[in-house]
Amino acid sequence: MREIKPQGKVYLVGAGCGGEELLTLKALDCIKNAQVIIYDSLVDEDILLNARKDCEKIYVGKRFGKPSPLQSEINGIILNKALEGKTVVRLKGGDPFVFGRGGEEAQALEKENISYEVLPGISSCIAVPQRAGIPVTHRDTSRSFMVITARKSDGTPVDRQVLEGYARTKGTLVVLMGLNLIGYIAETLISCGLSEDTPAAVISDGCRKNQRVIRTTLKNAEKDVKENNMKSPAVIVIGDTAACDFSGEKQQQETKNILITGTATHTEKLSKELKKLGLHGEKLILSKINISTCEQELAKGIEKVENGCYTIFTSPNGVDVFFNLLKKYEIDVRKIYGTRIAAVGSGTCEKLRNYGLIPDVVPQKYTVEELAKAIAEDCRKNGGVKSAVAFRSAQGSKSLEEILTKEGFDFTDVSTYSVGADKDAIENFEKNGAEKKYSRITFSSGSGVKIFFEEMKNPQSFFLQDTVVICIGEETKKQIEKYRGLIGNMKIITADNFSCKGLAKAVKESCYEQKQKIKTEQHNEKSC
């Protein structure tokens, strides 16, 4: 029996096509427990959110025409991490053994006697056509299907003999990684005897929120791909079933290209709220919460809390960090007993209720200026102590301190956490071919706006001429206004409710307005 070295273990995992709902349960379990995840460009970013906080994520995506690591280099990374004794997940779009080079990686692991396991995934060769409403087999039109890649391992086009073999069948041909060769493929098949009117379909960004489909013929395929500006990754389907549309989506959604920005937690929560409303957003993780430099400040701030004073929270993040640090330093939560709790935003209030606290002071208008005025008014009415301690972001608005100090308060501003750019997440987003433009872009904080415009390489490229920016709070809106020079005369909407639910509602309403506008324009055109 072959000796297995006592190193780590590698899981070659198929991520399938789409989000975590299409993963196998075992694949999801492996991802949650991995110490290292080595992933491709076609892996949905949502899946990576299931990883442990201390998991090392290594991007090794390959995209045609863009710099990418050699397969030998990827093999080396997998081997080295396993030899360090780590539990490694090699996460691949689709299925590892269906044009996923999983066999080559398994060979490398076999050679080094490293323990590994292969977990299947849903292959794009059947899933992407299915999402476009195309069955690869149908008893009346196609009793078989053939799957090929358009290029050989040396990068040259697939041999003519392969296409001749398909031309002699009456099935369906599925071509992966062939968008740039569609002209060659179509011409070759026609020269091999297929009718130039043979149906063909091209699906770009299959199984993603921004999936696009064109149905054409072999004769018009190359022209239609260019005219519709179809982009990789794409799957090509050729044969009678390519003309089918059994997608069940007869009413196309008006707006699919929504960009959600913020922290990992915020983008995930807003994404779920949008899904409840029938909308889908792409997540751009811009920022992360950093509390390591703020722990000493929190301890000092707690000492300032006294009976009758005002304890202020301005964000859900501030509430979470506050209570987590109380637990870490074993500070009794009854320290804030007898204080009056002040909060701004329904999200902040909801978070406080989760910890068993009901705020005493909440302004009707969700701004820190209104919060400060509400605290001063509450103090006058109830004869409270003119002392306030705010536990919030280091980047918080100075207006809170200025107004309360002017009202005669002894004000202590505690930097409970800071928000910084998540440069790894931004880099990954840009590496994954972030060339799309968005009709809706959301922002949840001024710091997020600043990171977007100052850390992204080409932020203005994400905007269409009529892009609508939707944000939480006047402070966030003011920050966006500073970048008018980059985004032009874009419409900026502030959500009525300062929560993910409120932001999602504002996005939905904006999409509805767009739909009504389009209907009106179409009606006017018919009238003319």
**Per-residue confidence (pLDDT) for residue 523, from 0 to 100:** 47
**Per-residue confidence (pLDDT) for residue 6, from 0 to 100:** 58
Q: Against a cut of 0.75, is the pTM above it? A: no
Q: State the Cα–Cα distance between residues 256 and 55, nearest whole angstrom.
A: 31
Q: State the Cα–Cα distance between residues 342 and 311, nearest whole angstrom.
A: 6
Q: State the Cα–Cα distance between residues 184 and 203, nearest whole angstrom.
A: 18
Do the beta carbons of residue 385 and residue 309 sit within 8 Å?
yes
Q: State the Cα–Cα distance between residues 281 and 16, nearest whole angstrom.
A: 19
Beta-strand runs (E) in 60-190: 87-92, 116-119, 145-149, 172-176
> 367 — alpha (psi -120 to 50), left (phi > 0) or beta?
beta
Do the beta carbons of residue 389 and residue 414 sit within 8 Å?
yes
**Per-residue confidence (pLDDT) for residue 514, from 0 to 100:** 61
**Per-residue confidence (pLDDT) for residue 330, from 0 to 100:** 84
Q: State the Cα–Cα distance between residues 17 and 130, nearest whole angstrom.
A: 11
**Per-residue confidence (pLDDT) for residue 467, from 0 to 100:** 92
Distance of CA 473 to the CA centre of its chain: 22
Q: State the Cα–Cα distance between residues 129 and 231, nearest whole angstrom.
A: 16
The label of the residue with tokens 């100075």 reads: 398
Query: What is the share, in percent, of the chain residues with pLDDT greater than 90?
Result: 52
Q: State the Cα–Cα distance between residues 25 and 29, nearest whole angstrom.
A: 6
Catalytic residue among 62, 335, 386, 478: 62
**40 counts as catalytic:** yes
**Per-residue confidence (pLDDT) for residue 433, from 0 to 100:** 54
Residues in the chain: 528
The two three-digit tokens of residue 306, written as one number: 């006294």
Distance of CA 320 to the CA centre of its chain: 23
What 3 state SS string does 194-225 have? CCCCCEEEEEECCCCCCCEEEEEECCCHHHHH
**Per-residue confidence (pLDDT) for residue 254, from 0 to 100:** 44
Q: How far is CA 22 from CA 14, 26, 195, 413, in A?
A: 10, 12, 37, 46
448-451: long-range pairs with CB below 8 Å, 24+: 448/261, 448/262, 448/263, 448/286, 448/287, 448/419, 448/476, 449/476, 449/479, 449/480, 449/483, 450/479, 451/286, 451/287, 451/419, 451/421, 451/426
The two three-digit tokens of residue 382, written as one number: 């109830």
Helix (H, G, I), strand (E, B) or coil at 138: strand
Q: How far is CA 334 from CA 86, 255, 337, 387, in A?
A: 43, 48, 5, 18
Q: Which residues contact 174 (CB under 8 A, 6 or more apart)?
A: 125, 126, 129, 136, 145, 146, 147, 148, 235, 236, 237, 238
Amino acid present at 87 = T
What stretch of H or E contains 435?
none
The two three-digit tokens of residue 371, written as one number: 């919060």
Instruction: Please write the tens of the pLDDT for every residue from 449-504.
Output: 999 999 998 898 889 888 999 998 888 999 999 999 888 888 999 998 778 888 99
**Per-residue confidence (pLDDT) for residue 522, from 0 to 100:** 47
Domains of the chain, CATH where assigned: 9-122 (3.40.1010.10), 126-243 (3.30.950.10), 258-286+422-523 (3.40.50.10090), 290-421 (3.40.50.10090)
**177 counts as catalytic:** yes
Helix (H, G, I), strand (E, B) or coil at 30: helix
Do the beta carbons of residue 472 and residue 503 sit within 8 Å?
yes
Do the beta carbons of residue 420 and residue 233 sit within 8 Å?
no
**Per-residue confidence (pLDDT) for residue 516, from 0 to 100:** 57
Mean pLDDT for each consecutive 10-residue tract of the chain (528 residues)? Answer: 67 90 92 96 85 92 72 94 96 92 94 95 94 92 92 85 86 93 94 94 87 94 94 93 80 64 90 86 88 69 85 91 85 87 90 94 87 94 88 87 93 88 86 74 93 91 90 89 90 87 91 61 49
Amino acid present at 64 = F
Q: State the Cα–Cα distance between residues 114 and 129, nearest whole angstrom.
A: 36
Catalytic residue among 146, 177, 230, 456: 177
